[in-house]
Amino acid sequence: MRELIEKVFLRHFGMHAGLADSASISVDGSSLAYTTDSFVVDPLFFPGGNIGKLAVSGTVNDLSTCGAIPKFISCGFIIEEGFRIADLDKIVESMASEAKKAGVRIVTGDTKVVKRDQCDKLYINTSGIGYLPEDRKHICTGETIRPGDKIIVSGTLGDHAITILSEREGLTTGHQLESDVAPLNNLTEKILGQPENIRFMRDITRGGLATILAEICENKTFGIEIEEGRIPVRESVRSISELYGFNPLFLANEGKMLFIVKKETDEKILRQLHTEETGKDATIIGEVTEEHQGIAVLKSVIGGKRIIEMLGGEILPRIC
Amino acid sequence: MRELIEKVFLRHFGMHAGLADSASISVDGSSLAYTTDSFVVDPLFFPGGNIGKLAVSGTVNDLSTCGAIPKFISCGFIIEEGFRIADLDKIVESMASEAKKAGVRIVTGDTKVVKRDQCDKLYINTSGIGYLPEDRKHICTGETIRPGDKIIVSGTLGDHAITILSEREGLTTGHQLESDVAPLNNLTEKILGQPENIRFMRDITRGGLATILAEICENKTFGIEIEEGRIPVRESVRSISELYGFNPLFLANEGKMLFIVKKETDEKILRQLHTEETGKDATIIGEVTEEHQGIAVLKSVIGGKRIIEMLGGEILPRIC
């Protein structure tokens, strides 16, 4: 289905499938980033957030990941008849609060109500506009990545996906599980004072870290090597992942960023990341290599190496 | 429901409910118009168009109506599992073709697939960005409207709503019915060479002409008077409207614009409108008055006058 859809859209719209989550556009001489996402997460409320927080964070992060400064958000609501106003109020309140945190304004919106069984409670679409400074344009394309660069993840992997799974399956564990959903633009701005030190950023959503790393290398004259032992994963996430046969490297996050940074500045950037709540567990997990060009490799704890592949299908439907 | 929702959104987002279909925003010194809409029309295909054509036209028109020049569009698709790829292809093809006609680029998109009965076949959200020239900013607010100004509608009223109704109810009439759905930016650009002559524009969608006229006058120091006999309505639309007890003044259109123009330039503007296919039936239907301040009035064919009220509820669900 996904492949067919992409063929349909790409063919008719003349889009090119690239790494970017946002489109770079130019209006009246200004460079902007522009993005959209529909949110159909089930359940609507989950530990750590709800569909509204997810929508604002997701759109802010799609802009931030390109180096853009998120400015404005639009929202479209499709609501099933009979949906509780009290729940809608909580969701909208949380959108407003996340927008405030991220320094973006929700400026335009639309609401459609459909009959019972014509939508599953509530779907939200958000789009976003960000300002893209000239000296950050390389961050979206990754064109300055070179061997020796260090690879950093902003925190633990798999929290969002496993939280949604647990809610849906009614799993009770001894551990506290919570989605990591959060806007990350305050985190990215923290390290963008010297944008030339940042080679690439990407929020680690559908497809997980593995898919991003494989995509970055594809057809390039460099490789990537990361160390399994350095990848931060919560014990609760690891144990549920094992139970279901999931690899946290492929799981979706909603408040995690991958950074590729200039080698000499890695420790300084790490310290800057650690000053933000959303980056307190940031870790250097590997580097860009001259070897195995075009291929991302995982070095296991016991020293073995294996190729990191892209995620083929979809592990969990409706996680965002 | 609508009232409650508006209270929820306006309260949390700090938006103000205004006349405008688009938000005016400023990024890096440039003035932009920004809008969003979700489309849930049923049926997806109808005489004159489909949900894709509707989505692109609707967003282009929300930008054009403010005097903005539409530039970029985003689209988010929520698709029910099992939806026919051939139908999706037709819809996407028609979006691409309308975008081309309107001179806008569809630059970013998103697709979510949900299970059967979690959506009614297909919903589309579009957002749009337009460039808003400095000398057109009065068009959105209507701040230059004054007594004597002429009121023009770009063509026949009610075509879209009655077409959708007929398709849904399986009505067969002797007359050909077709939705008027179309992007109107080529029409509005035709008359915007001298923007000071155009006091106000508004695409005549949900709520119909009546609601717009009542809104324009509300709390203002002018009134509006239109002549029933001058309002263009197709015979087929009129007869079905009578059958269902609808007044075409309240029916939604998807390719019709209301213009308020400087008195001295009305005939010239009318001639300009007539040169475009989407404006060939444009008609002067009334004027802005000094009398009955704050109130829009309809002069009937036999000379009686009655107050034009806003539409209270929703005549037809899911017409867009």
Architecture of the domain spanning B142-308: Alpha-Beta Complex (3.90)
The percent of residues in chain B predicted with pLDDT above 70, rounded, is 97
What is the separation of C-alpha B246 from the centre of its chain, rounded to a whole number of angstroms?
18
Tell me the average pLDDT across B28-35. Answer: 92
More confident call, B310 vs B159: B159
Which residue among A36, A79, A99 sits closest to B74, beta carbon to beta carbon? A36
What was the pLDDT predicted at B314? 78
Mutate which of A9, A53, A59, A91 to test chain B, going by most B C-beta atoms within 10 A? A9
- Give yes or no for residue A151 having a pLDDT over 90: yes
Cβ-defined contact of A32 to B36 (cutoff 8 Å): no
Alpha carbon distance A43, B259 (integer Å): 46
Cβ-defined contact of B119 to A118 (cutoff 8 Å): yes
Tell me the average pLDDT across A242-265. Answer: 96
Question: CA torsion sign, A83 to A84 to A86 to A91?
Answer: negative
What was the pLDDT predicted at A1? 61
* Helix, strand, coil tally for chain B in percent (to 5): 35, 25, 40
- Give yes or no for residue A59 having a pLDDT over 60: yes
Q: By the 8 A CB rule, do A78 and A112 touch?
A: yes
Cβ-defined contact of A129 to B125 (cutoff 8 Å): no
Going by C-alpha positions, the residue among A238, A212, A199 that lies closest to residue A308 is: A212
- Give yes or no for residue A210 having a pLDDT over 70: yes
Burial classification of residue A19, based on how many CB atoms lie within 10 Å of its CB (0-12 exposed, 13-18 middle, 19 or more buried): middle
pLDDT in tens, B83-95: 999 999 999 999 9
Q: What is the mean pLDDT of chain A?
A: 94
- Give yes or no for residue A74 having a pLDDT over 80: yes
- Give yes or no for residue B207 having a pLDDT over 80: yes
Going by C-alpha positions, the residue among B215, B156, B183, B226 that lies closest to residue B65 is: B183
ipTM: 0.94
Main-chain phi, psi angles of B259, to 5 degrees: -120, 140
What was the pLDDT predicted at B306? 95
- Give yes or no for residue A234 having a pLDDT over 70: yes
- Give yes or no for residue B19 having a pLDDT over 70: no
Question: Encoding tokens for residue B258?
Answer: 């209301």
Distance from CA of A125 to the nearest CA of B (A): 7
Going by C-alpha positions, the residue among A301, A320, A313 that lies closest to residue A238 is: A301
The percent of residues in chain B predicted with pLDDT above 90, rounded, is 85
> Which A residues in the span 53-112 are in contact with B, Cβ-Cβ below 8 Å?
71-72, 74-79, 81, 85, 88-89, 92-93, 95-96, 99, 106-112
Tell me the average pLDDT across A191-203. Answer: 97
More confident call, A141 vs B199: B199
- Give yes or no for residue B20 having a pLDDT over 80: no
Which residue among A1, A107, A119 sits closest to B34, beta carbon to beta carbon? A107
Alpha carbon distance B260, B197 (integer Å): 9
Which residue among A12, A74, A109 sits closest to B93, beta carbon to beta carbon? A12
What secondary structure does DSSP assign to B28-65, as a single string?
TTEEEEEEEEEE--SSSEETTEEHHHHHHHHHHHHHHT
- Cβ neighbours of A112 in B, within 8 Å: 38-40, 318
What was the pLDDT predicted at A2? 63
pLDDT in tens, B239-270: 999 999 999 999 999 999 999 999 999 999 99
Domain range B12-136, its CATH number among 3.30.1330.10, 3.30.420.40, 3.40.50.150, 3.40.50.1100: 3.30.1330.10
Burial classification of residue A313, based on how many CB atoms lie within 10 Å of its CB (0-12 exposed, 13-18 middle, 19 or more buried): exposed
Q: Coil, strand or helix: which one is A86? A: helix
Phi/psi region, residue B45 (left: phi>0; alpha: psi -120 to 50; beta: rest), is beta
- Give yes or no for residue A28 having a pLDDT over 90: no
Question: CA torsion sign, B78 to B81 to B87 to B92?
Answer: positive
pLDDT in tens, A114-141: 999 999 999 999 999 999 999 999 998 9
Distance from CA of A84 to the nearest CA of B (A): 10
Cis peptide bond N-terminal to B43, omega within 30:
yes
pLDDT in tens, B170-197: 887 667 899 999 999 999 999 999 999 9
Supply the DSSP symbol for A313: S
Q: Coil, strand or helix: which one is A286? A: strand
What is the b/e burial string over A159-171, where b = at least 16 CB atoms within 10 angstroms of the residue's CB?
bbbbbbbbbeeee
Tell me the average pLDDT across A312-319. Answer: 85
- Give yes or no for residue A20 having a pLDDT over 70: no
Tell me the average pLDDT across B194-211. Answer: 96
Tell me the average pLDDT across B210-230. Answer: 96
Tell me the average pLDDT across B72-100. Answer: 96
More confident call, B170 vs A96: A96
Cβ-defined contact of B110 to A38 (cutoff 8 Å): yes
A259 has a chain B CB within 8 A of its CB? no
What secondary structure does DSSP assign to B211-233, as a single string?
HHHHHHHTT-S-EEEEEGGGS--
Cβ-defined contact of A109 to B36 (cutoff 8 Å): yes
Domain parsing of chain B, residue ranges? 12-136, 142-308
Alpha carbon distance A16, B183 (integer Å): 25
A·B CB contacts under 8 A:
211
Tell me the average pLDDT across B99-108. Answer: 96
What was the pLDDT predicted at B172? 74
Mutate which of B4, B13, B94 to test chain A, going by most A C-beta atoms within 10 A? B13
Q: Band of the pLDDT at A311, cuts 50, 70, 90?
A: confident
- Cβ neighbours of B111 in A, within 8 Å: 2, 5, 9, 38
What was the pLDDT predicted at B6? 74
